[in-house]
Amino acid sequence: MRKLFPVFLALTLAACGAPSLPPPSLISQVQFLNEIQAGSPGATAVDQQGNIYAAQQDGSIRVINKEGKQVATLPVQDQKGRRILKKPAGIAIDNDLIYVTDNALDHVAIFSTNGEFLDAFGKSGKGPKEFDEPRGIKVYQGVIYVADYGNDRIQLFGSNGVFLKIIDGPPIPKATAAMSEEEAAKLTNQGSKNRIKEPIDVAVDFQGQLYVVDEDAQQVKIYDHNGNFIAIMPETFKPLSVEITPDGIYVADSESYSIKKFSLDRKLLFSFGSKGEARAQFKSMDSLTADSQGRIYLTDRGKGLIHAFLPEKGRLTQPWEMLPPPVSTKWLANVNTIAGRGVWDGKTSIYTIDSKKNAILKITDGIIANSIQLNDISPVALALEKSGDLLVLDGKGKRVVRMTADGTIVSTFGSPGSAAGKLSKPTDLAVNSKGIIFIADRGNEWVQAFSSDGVFLNVLRDTTAAPLDEPIAISLDDKDNLYVLDADRMMVAAYSPEGKPMYVFGRKGDSPGDFDDPVDIYATTQEVFVLDNDTENIKVFSNEGRFLRAIGIPGDSKGEFNSPTAITPMGKTAFAVSDDDNKRIQILANVYTPMQTKGLAAEGGMHSVKLIWQPKDEPYISTYTILRSDLADQAFEPIGTTESTAFTDNTALPDKDYFYRVAAIAENGNQGPPGDTAGALSTKYIPAAPSNIEALPEEWKITLKWEPSTEGFVTEYMVYRKDDGEKTVIGKTSVPSFTQDSLSADTPYFYMVSAVSSDGVEGEAAIVRTSTKTSSKPPLSIDVIAMTNIFSNTYKIYETEGVGKIKITNNTGSAISKIKVTFTVKEFMDFSSEEEVDTLNPGEFKDVSLKVVFNNKILNVTEDTPVQTEITASYYLNSELKTINKNHKINIYEKHRMSWDEQGRFATFITPKDPILLEFIRSVVTQYPDAEDTLQRAAAIFNSLGSLGVTYMQDPSNPYQVTSGITDFVDYIQYPRETLQRKSGDCDDLVALYAASLESLGIQALAVEIPGHMLMIFSTGVEASSDNYTMNDWYIIKDGMLWVPVETTLVGSSFITAWEKGSGNYYAWKEKGLSLVDLRESWGVYKPASLPDIPWRPGIVTRENIEEKFNNEFQTVRKISVQTKIRKYRNTLETDANNEQALLQIGIIYAKAGETGEAVKAFSRILENTPNHAGALNNIGNVHFIDGKYEEAKTAYLNASQAEPDDALVWINLARCNLHLNLQNEAKDAFTKAQELDPQVSSKYRGMSLKLMSTL
């Protein structure tokens, strides 16, 4: 699409004789919108979404969106490869269907708007539904109009191709004998001019008039819907296309290269456009179309463009000004079976006769659902009673058989004969609304009436003309009028519900409404349908016998018949035709357009308008659409539908005028034009006074309650208080209650409550009087919500966590501001803690946390001490200080106390920085320089405690087994220094001692609680192996690391014994209530206690004492440690025996553990595969160096330096080894080489650098 700015064409042309110029017209504005690239476009059409469908010279049709981009192409072949588009000449769009004429294939193709090919109708020829180069096409309210160029006519079809009729213009008048040749020729010539010849386009206006572009005459000719010539469009010279919009008629004139707009009464308004290469000029004019927004599109194949314009709009045709289109017919379905007469069940099924199989078929939704086989019955016709029973007319048995829907015979009546009540050659039957059964009898030449139980009532034979001779079919309309088809007399005789002859119509002949071989009939309130086997169509008459139209033509396509035998009505508009030679039943529907509704009356109500109108005598109406407008002369929009002749508009806004119209909608058909206008005013809602109002008084407030409004229009309630005769608004509420605070106690009050509607109208007020109650509470109350006892060992925590919470409540009717709340514990606080409540409204309460700063006296508490706290709330009222006091008793516990409601408190007793503990632990660890890992040091510490004489002793008064499960019990726990001093403690005391000892060395410990007992675990710092190895559950795995459980109550036994017992307890309780106390995390809240310095120190424990007592257990622990560390590397070697990294790590671990022989083995295995492995050679040198084998070490270092000459550390190791061998120069050379590789060597190894300084 070319991006062009809008321009306005204001065109006027002087009256001159130049044929290339358009004729003079009024000046009007036409906005040029854009140029749309469209290939080689011909015919075009635009859908509701603004997509343009443009036919191309190659036979395709492009789909171009409103942005100018091609988004699709309609298929030119169907799924079987058959050509469906070859030379498209016209396009029309109706709802979601696209119709395309093809003047090479002589048919109309039908597509969905998503591009799916649906169907095609027509073929080459001159008969009905045959074409010779079809051109333009239009669809108006379900009727398709096709310009049949070569056949000089316009053909009309239903929405899916059912033939309706042909319009070719009025017949040429015949000359009379009295006319001269000249007069006869003139008459013939004039008659020929009014006929259609070579039509290339067609349009339909809103009065149903056809505008035909006649190429032969180069005129636009106008005809009514019956084909009568009306007029010729003026001021057109060489028209090629015509388009009609709600505000006018547009004609593309290729003589003047202009588009002309006419009013709907065919007066030229203006024209625009010209020939040329510039913007908005045309190189060729090929087709004209319009969209729903009034935009005009001209196809210009010469430029390969579509020009888009927006002309100034004129007066729009209103829906109520439109005339209905002619009644059309559409195909619904085919049922592939041969059948005779039938009857509809009033729902979704028909029963029909299969005479060959002597059966009754039930067809539901187009499918044979059931077959009732008949015995000794020869069915010729069917009827259905209100009860649902079938009446089968038995031609062989001369009787009527009543049966249920499944074929069970209920009763019969009738017998052979020629007397009244007898049957000779029965042909058809029908049942009226009263249950009277009519039977046509061609043998007795009459129609008889029977009661529902078979009693003879009457004979109908006389007509308003000759008596009945061969009645072969009968039908009843909705008013119980009876119509009898007489095959011999070629007529239809009508009888009133009482049986009185009314009139006859029909005759044998060659006119469209004449009979040749009528075989069946059905009637509605307005029309009578007669099926003719010989003409192979259905002739439709008014109830008075006036011929209206014909349905169908000979053939085998949709809406075509080949020897039809029966017609069965199916509701208000649908019917089924038994089409014998085509071996099918066709289900069709008449497409009606109702006339305008009459007698509309509107009555305004509260938030609504009620509408009623006259019922219409059109049986095919299914619903009514209600249209509304704010102004009588503006557009009306749909607001609802109804099946009745009354409607209430509940969306009407109050105090506003509305105007309404009603349009009827036909079943399977169109919406008719809206009827006359009626207007009304919707009124506002005035709410009633609230009912059952009551007042609920309290000391300082009053609550009002009332019944809510049930009308649904109340949006809020206004609440007033009357004081000294003056009414004041005190609030609004959307709920049926209201509370007023800040009142005085023991005081009368007067209230008024009124409802306000959504219209803003306030209704009358309800009144209530009451008095507040006498006050029985203090103005301000203090309630203790929670108050905890104080643990002196964690006294600082109360500065942030607080000791409790109180609630301060305002019991008065007025707000109280600046309330100061203080809290004091005498002797243990230097200053009271203080909080301020900014404001408390009447009845409001607030919680206040009590945070306390204790002084150091609390550390001197040696016994659990009860104390009184004091809470004070004070405020000023009228400059007078008001004070409320409250006392509350709590306990201050001495420093050894804790409760197990918060396990983290236990961390307070873990004191790793206590100098007494630190000195003792350091004195032990320094004796184990070879304890190179956590497990070994932990074992040495545990065994040192045993050597010191520390033992387990259960607390006789409060054993942990009892207190640990009672969260509100206050337990007694020793600090680690006290356990060392007393050399005994229960399980929690020993856990505290051992955990503090390990934490003093940086070894992480966790306390483990199991029901009735406590042990602990510590981290080895060793990662767990990938196979989760735990040394048969001696270790535990936590956070990917190996931890060791220790049963501290076994202090005095060996570490391994305590470890074994600890792991057993841990795994026994792991899934049964075990919990961990993370001491480091708990220290974030519960800091280790600060203890005073004392002169006492524990005795000295030597390594000899430990080794003697525990039989050199240290070596065993070291082996376990080594095996644990190397296990994951051994696992690697099981799958990769020569993994150098695993062997290297194993060697390093052995070396650090002092097992140098094993270390050398591991490194040597590397050299077996990689002799020059620098890492292995260097580490062998390190092992020899540790063992004091300096010559062997030197050899290994030299080999490593040759394998990795750029490794500075290897040269450093070689320099150190040479120093030990007193080889100063060689040491200097090695150190110099290291410096060259890494200049930082001198600073990193300053000691060596100083020793070698003299030689350097």
Tokens 């309780």 correspond to 1069
Q: Which of 318-332, 500-514, 821-835, 955-969 has the lowest mean pLDDT?
A: 955-969
Query: Can you give the pLDDT at residue 22?
Result: 47
Residue 344 located in a structural domain: yes
Q: What pLDDT, in 10s, does the model give residues 452-485?
A: 999 999 999 999 999 999 999 999 999 999 999 9
893, 918, 935: which is the final residue of a domain? 893
Q: What pLDDT, in 10s, does the model give residues 265-275?
A: 999 999 999 99
Same domain, 436 and 543: yes
**3-state secondary structure string across 271-295:** EECEECCCCCEECCCCEEEECCCCC
CA 618 to CA 614: how far, in whole Å? 12
The percent of residues above 70 in pLDDT, for the chain, comes to: 96
Residue 1145 located in a structural domain: yes
CA 303 to CA 1117: how far, in whole Å? 99
Query: Can you give the pLDDT at residue 1036?
Result: 94
Helix or strand (DSSP H, E) at 1: none
Residue 1256 located in a structural domain: no
pLDDT at 492 over 70: yes
Nearest C-alpha neighbor of 1120 from the set 1037, 1041, 1005, 1020:
1020
pTM above threshold 0.75: no
Q: Which amino acid is residue 135, in one-letter code?
A: R
Query: Can you give the pLDDT at residue 680?
Result: 93
The upper half-sphere exposure of residue 798, i.e. CA atoms within 13 Å in the direction of its Cβ, equals 25
CA dihedral of residues 849, 855, 861, 867 (deg, nearest 10): -40
Residue 193 located in a structural domain: yes
Residue 1 located in a structural domain: no
CATH of the domain at 1155: 1.25.40.10
pLDDT at 9 over 60: no
**3-state secondary structure string across 20-43:** CCCCCCCCCEEEEEEEEECCCEEE
Same domain, 153 and 169: yes
Q: What pLDDT, in 10s, does the model give residues 1213-1247?
A: 888 998 888 888 888 888 888 888 888 888 888 88
What DSSP string runs through 1139-1155? -HHHHHHHHHHHHHTT-
**Exposure of 1068 by Cβ count < 10 A (0-12 exposed, 13-18 middle, 19+ buried)?**
exposed
If one counts every other C-beta atom within 10 angstroms of the C-beta of residue 99, the result is: 23
CA 1195 to CA 18: how far, in whole Å? 120
pLDDT at 14 over 70: no
Same domain, 580 and 606: no
Q: What pLDDT, in 10s, does the model give residues 294-353?
A: 999 999 999 999 999 999 887 777 766 777 788 999 999 999 999 999 999 999 999 999
CA 85 to CA 431: how far, in whole Å? 51
Residue 689 located in a structural domain: no
CA 1071 to CA 1162: how far, in whole Å? 41
Same domain, 517 and 612: no
Same domain, 579 and 624: no
CATH of the domain at 1089: 3.10.620
1113, 1148, 1170: which is the final residue of a domain? 1113
pLDDT at 2 over 60: no
Query: Can you give the pLDDT at residue 741?
Result: 78
Same domain, 390 and 458: yes
Long-range contacts of 595-599 (CB under 8 A, 24+ apart): 595/324, 595/664, 595/672, 595/673, 596/320, 596/663, 596/672, 596/673, 596/674, 596/675, 596/676, 597/624, 597/662, 597/663, 597/664, 597/672, 597/674, 597/675, 597/676, 598/675, 598/676
Same domain, 1177 and 1228: yes
pLDDT interval class at 189 (50, 70, 90): confident
Same domain, 956 and 1044: yes
The residue-averaged pLDDT of 853-869 equals 84
CATH of the domain at 797: 2.60.40.10
Helix or strand (DSSP H, E) at 231: strand 229-232
The percent of residues above 90 in pLDDT, for the chain, comes to: 62
Same domain, 245 and 302: yes
Residue 605 located in a structural domain: yes
Q: What pLDDT, in 10s, does the model give residues 64-91?
A: 998 999 999 999 999 999 999 999 999 9
Cross-strand pairs, 669: none
Q: What pLDDT, in 10s, does the model give residues 602-615?
A: 999 888 999 999 99
pLDDT interval class at 11 (50, 70, 90): very low
Question: Is 269:28 a contact under the CB 8 Å cutoff?
Answer: yes
Query: Can you give the pLDDT at residue 496?
Result: 96
Task: For residue 493, give both structure tokens.
Answer: 């005789």
Q: What is the mean pLDDT of the chain?
A: 89
pLDDT at 1121 over 50: yes
Q: How many domains does the chain have?
A: 7
Q: What pLDDT, in 10s, does the model give residues 624-654?
A: 999 999 988 788 999 999 999 999 999 998 8
Query: Can you give the pLDDT at residue 213?
Result: 97
The residue-averaged pLDDT of 1192-1209 equals 88
Q: What pLDDT, in 10s, does the model give residues 986-1038?
A: 999 999 999 999 999 999 999 999 998 999 999 999 998 888 888 888 999 99
pLDDT interval class at 1254 (50, 70, 90): low
Give the structural domain span for 1053. Answer: 903-1113
- DSSP secondary-structure letter at 713? -
Q: What pLDDT, in 10s, does the model give residues 94-142?
A: 989 999 999 999 999 999 999 999 999 999 999 999 999 999 999 998 9
Q: What pLDDT, in 10s, does the model give residues 1043-1086?
A: 999 999 999 999 999 999 999 999 999 988 899 999 999 898 88
CATH of the domain at 253: 2.120.10.30
Query: Can you give the pLDDT at residue 146?
Result: 98
pLDDT at 959 over 90: no
Nearest C-alpha neighbor of 771 from the set 749, 753, 752:
749
Residue 860 located in a structural domain: yes
Same domain, 887 and 937: no
Same domain, 255 and 165: yes
pLDDT at 1111 over 50: yes
Tokens 């150091």 correspond to 856
If one counts every other C-beta atom within 10 angstroms of the C-beta of residue 1035, the result is: 24
**Helix, strand, or coil (residue 1200):** helix
CA 515 to CA 507: how far, in whole Å? 6
Query: Can you give the pLDDT at residue 110?
Result: 97
Task: Please report, for residues 247, 288, 693, 966, the alpha-carbon distance to residue 41 in angstroms, rounded to integers and kept in the order given.
Answer: 27, 11, 78, 94
Same domain, 273 and 340: no
Query: Can you give the pLDDT at residue 549?
Result: 94
CA 373 to CA 352: how far, in whole Å? 12
Task: Give Dmax over CA atoms of the chain in angstroms.
Answer: 161
Rounded CA Rg of the chain = 55
CA 256 to CA 274: how far, in whole Å? 7
CA 448 to CA 1131: how far, in whole Å? 109
Query: Can you give the pLDDT at residue 423?
Result: 96
682, 708, 741: which is the final residue of a domain? 682
